[in-house]
Amino acid sequence: MKDYYDILGVSKDARGDEIKKRFRELAIKYHPDRNPDNKEAEEKFKEINEAYSVLSDPKKRAQYDQFGVVDGSDGYSSEYDFADTFSDIFSNLSSVFGDIFGDYSYRRGPRPEKGDDIGMNLTIDFKEAVFGAKKEIKVKRRKTCPKCGGTGADKNGIETCSYCRGRGEISYSQGFFSVRKTCPKCGGKGVIITKKCTNCGGTGYIYEEEQLIVNIEQGIDNGDVLRITGKGNPGKNGGPDGDLYIYIHVKEHEFFKRKGRDINIEIPISITQATLGAVIKVPTIWGESEITIPPGTQNGDAFVLKHKGVELNGVRGKQTVKVKVVIPKQLTKRQRELLEELAKESGEDLSYKESILDKFKSMFK
Ligand SMILES: [Zn+2]
Ligand SMILES: [Zn+2]
């Protein structure tokens, strides 16, 4: 069993403000920001937080004094999850330190930060998406201004901050506590810029176009997003560079309509091919293929060509061929004679005036 009094180094009859004061001292001493990569300090920090969260609560403290355990406090044991209890710890800290804790933590210096991600659109052809391609792209990435080295100041336009005397922070006392605070005048930089760098306009960075070759994998689809690690904007304070996200837009093909791995295509056939049947050639993305149209094929009937679709991760989809029966708009004299012959053979009277619509109407009389 953990002795919370021992952990905080207070006596069993310590008053609330005494416990609070002791916790404050220990929290600063063992704060992870002050002890980077120190496992022992981290453990200690968790332990004092656990102890404080019990002893600062009169109800929990009474329970602990009587039974030696507190409901729900065992979560802090060996399988302590920092992320889960992160908010608990910081609510403890902020209740004790208030806002000044934020100022305190400033003193650890700038923390490495990952650079911003960049997003861009890339339009590719249908064929490039289906078979893959190498595409050259241009991306505007942020670079440190070479003229001012990132300070944003002109050569003679930089002065030491008079408010903090170049230290970037000021100290004052709040109660018994000495607090350091980021200098409000220079924002912690310790310097004041009196004349901005003309190259970057004072921002300290410029944008430079960079050429990249992007590998488009076979089978990529409209709406896919490629991520290129480390090609975003540069990281801050030694942090990693951001990533580049490329949003893929695939141009539509005139004939091939794609849906995932599958391809749909519409092929015109003649009335005689539809009626008598035929073997016809159809284009696929993999070259020419054949389908057999059986006699009596109707307009809109579909035929499937297996494994003629898009290949993605080694698996090929299918191609569906939908036939469209084309009615001839112009006939030679001979063609007309033959069709009239056909009509006669079928017993159709081509001069019959009653339309199909009239037939339907008569059905409902
Ligand atoms: Zn200053
Ligand atoms: Zn500059």
| Cα 222 from Cα 252, distance rounded (Å) | 9
Domain boundary among 87, 106, 125: 106
In this prediction, residue 225 carries a pLDDT of 94
Residues 235 and 263 in one domain: no
Indicate if the pLDDT at residue 85 is higher than 90. no
What is the mean pLDDT of the segment spanning 93-103? Answer: 49
CA of residue 34 to ligand 1 center, whole Å: 23
If one compares 281 and 99, the residue with the highest pLDDT of the two is 281
303 shares a domain with 339: yes
Side-by-side strand order, sheet with 118-124: 118-124, 244-250, 225-228
Q: How many angstroms is it from 106 CA to the middle of ligand 1?
A: 14
Question: pLDDT at residue 77 above 70?
Answer: no
Average pLDDT over residues 131-146: 92
Q: Report the CATH number that the domain containing residue 143 is assigned in CATH.
A: 2.10.230.10
Q: How far is it, in rounded angstroms, from Cα 181 to Cα 207?
A: 33
pLDDT above 80: residue 76: no
* Structure-token match 């609330």, residue found: 16
Name residues with Cβ closer than 5 Å to ligand 2, which is an ion.
145, 147-148, 197, 199-200
Ligand (nearest to CA of 144) = 2
Whether 8 and 96 share a structural domain = yes
Token pair recorded at residue 93? 């800290």
Same domain, 66 and 145: no
Q: From ligand 2's centre to the CA of 144, what distance in Å?
A: 8
In the chain, the percentage of residues whose pLDDT exceeds 90 is 45
Instruction: Judge whether 351 lies within some domain.
Output: no
Average pLDDT over the chain reads 84
Domain extent, residue 144, equals 138-211+227-250
Regarding whether 295 and 244 lie in a shared domain, the answer is: no
Distance from residue 182's CA to the centre of ligand 1 (Å):
8
What is the per-residue DSSP string for 306-319? Answer: TT-S-EETTEE--E
* Mean pLDDT for the stretch of residues 312-328: 95
The answer to whether 89 touches 75, Cβ cutoff 8 Å, is no
- Asked if the model's pLDDT at residue 329 lies above 80, the reply is yes
32 and 72 share one domain: yes
Domain assignment of residue 221, yes or no: no
> Rounded to the nearest 5°, which phi and psi values hold at 159?
-130, 150
142 C-alpha vs ligand 2 centroid, how far in Å? 12
pLDDT at 148 over 80: yes
In one-letter notation, the amino acid at residue 228 is I
Whether residue 199 contacts residue 144, with contact meaning beta carbons closer than 8 Å, is answered with no
**pTM for the full model?**
0.57
Residue 284 pairs with which residues in a beta bridge?
Answer: 287
DSSP code string of 266-328: EEEEEHHHHHH-EEEEEEETTEEEEEEE-TTPPTT-EEEETT-S-EETTEE--EEEEEEEEPP
- Decide if pLDDT at 78 tops 50: no
Residue 341 lies in a domain: yes
Q: Is residue 231 located within the same domain as residue 146?
A: yes
- How many Å is the maximal CA-CA distance in the chain? 117
Question: Where residue 13 sits, what CATH number does that domain have?
Answer: 1.10.287.110
62: helix, coil or strand?
helix
Q: What confidence category does residue 357 fall into, taking pLDDT thresholds of 50, 70 and 90?
A: low
Q: Which ligand is nearest to the CA of 165?
A: 1
CB 48 within 8 A of CB 56: no
Q: Among all ligands shown, which has an atom nearest to the Cα of 162?
A: 1
Same domain membership, residue 151 and residue 92: no
Given a cut of 70, whether residue 320 has pLDDT beyond it is yes
Q: Report pLDDT for 102.
A: 43
For residue 210, how far is its CA from the centre of ligand 2 (angstroms)? 19
Q: What is the Å distance from ligand 1's center to 193 Cα?
A: 11
236 with 262, same domain?
no
Q: Could you report the per-residue pLDDT of 263-285, keeping only the tens digit for each?
A: 999 999 999 999 999 999 999 99
pLDDT higher than 60, residue 9: yes
Element (H, E) at 2: none
- Looking at residue 359, its pLDDT comes to 65
Query: What domain count does the chain have?
Result: 3
Question: Residue 132 domain-assigned?
Answer: no
- Compute, in angstroms, the gap from residue 237 CA to the centroid of ligand 1: 20
Between residues 69 and 334, which one has the greater pLDDT? 334
Please state, in angstroms and rounded to a whole number, the distance separating the CA atoms of residues 100 and 90: 13
Judged against a pLDDT cut of 80, whether residue 95 lies above it is answered with: no
Q: Are residues 244 and 262 in the same domain?
A: no
For residues 112 and 291, give the distance between their C-alpha atoms in angstroms, rounded to a whole number: 62
Distance CA 171, CA 169 (A): 7
Q: State mean pLDDT over 17-44.
A: 81
Residues 323, 265 share a domain: yes
pLDDT, average across residues 312-324: 96
Confidence (pLDDT) at 321: 97
The pLDDT of residue 189: 82
Ligand nearest to the CA of 192: 1
Above 50 in pLDDT, residue 168? yes
Ligand 2 mean position, distance from CA 141 (Å): 15
Same structural domain, 159 and 204: yes
Nearest ligand atom owner, CA of 163: 1
Is residue 241's pLDDT more than 60?
yes
Q: What count of Cα atoms within 13 Å lies in the side-chain half-sphere of residue 323?
A: 27
Q: How much is the average pLDDT of 319-325?
A: 97
